[in-house]
Amino acid sequence: MKSNRIIIALLVIAGFVVLSLGGCQRAAEDTTTITCATDATWPPMEMVNENKDIVGFDIDFFNAVAKEAGFKVEFKSTAWDGIFAGIAAGKYDAIISSVTITDERKLTMSFSDPYINAGQVLIVPKESGAVMIADLAGKSVGAQIGTTGAREIEKSEGVELKSYDEIGLAFEDMAVGRIAGVVCDTPVAAQYALQQDEYKEKFKIVGEVLTTEYYGIVVQKDNQKLLDLINKGIKAVQEKGINKQLEDKWLR
């Protein structure tokens, strides 16, 4: 009789183990996976390394957000000129790609809480005496197409905007004298003008920060459920100081 009770107890325990394992498996299967688009041409925020992996501040940041909020993220390299149309069409769930939060963009997409402040700055050759865009009247200044940097150039009378699909191409043109300056986000300017070996002896960042801009993570318009999940992760990352650690890693 005693042995029968032992056998029954063991069977009950085994049943609980099976149910527990099944529950863990279902929990793993139920973990939300977010597909996130990024234009991986803006070092140090997002770029492709020598191993063909997408890396950078934004990538590390969103991975940290995902960990804190309890979801998974898969990154999809996407060209800038079609990235917003893609989110509207549902080709991916989110965008993290140095996207500045603007009232105009809010009309067609929704943004997370801001996660970094990065204004536009002017970069010129070291021998240049320019300290603002207006000083380059009669010359061409480069920016990536459709960016707030491009709009800042357009505000300066007499300065010709030259647009590029990738910001790196603008710096290449400035290095050989085709344009007189480049306007881009502060983190990108720091990467090209202060950190890259081929440019740090050639370029300098001048003048004041032209704008106060905040980056946000983009989701489809009014997708509040996903916004709440992402914002939960952003809050935790900021409260724990993880964002500051990543700024030290990528932007200093």
Q: So where are the chain's domains?
A: 31-115+216-250, 120-206
pLDDT tens figures, 225-250: 999 999 999 999 999 999 999 988 88
Quote the CA–CA distance of 174 and 48 in Å, as a whole number.
23
Confidence at 192, pLDDT banded by 50, 70, 90: confident
**Identical fold, 31-115+216-250 and 120-206:** yes
Pairing of strands 120-125, 54-55: unpaired
Pick the CATH number of 31-115+216-250 from 3.30.360.10, 3.40.50.1820, 3.40.50.880, 3.40.190.10: 3.40.190.10
Angle between helices 57-69 and 242-250 (to 10 degrees): 160
pLDDT tens figures, 36-72: 999 999 888 999 999 999 999 999 999 999 999 999 9
pLDDT tens figures, 106-143: 999 999 999 998 899 999 999 999 999 999 999 999 99
CATH of domain 120-206: 3.40.190.10
Confidence at 210, pLDDT banded by 50, 70, 90: very high
Q: 3-state secondary structure string, the chain?
A: CHHHHHHHHHHHHHHHHHHHHHHHHHHHHHCCEEEEEECCEECCCEEECCCCCEECHHHHHHHHHHHHHCCEEEEEECCHHHHHHHHHCCCCCEECCCCECCHHHHCCEEECCCCEECCEEEEEECCCCCCCHHHHCCCEEEEECCCHHHHHHHCCCCCEEEEECCHHHHHHHHHCCCCCEEEEEHHHHHHHHHHCCCCCCCEEEECCCCCCCEECCEEECCCHHHHHHHHHHHHHHHHCCHHHHHHHHHCC
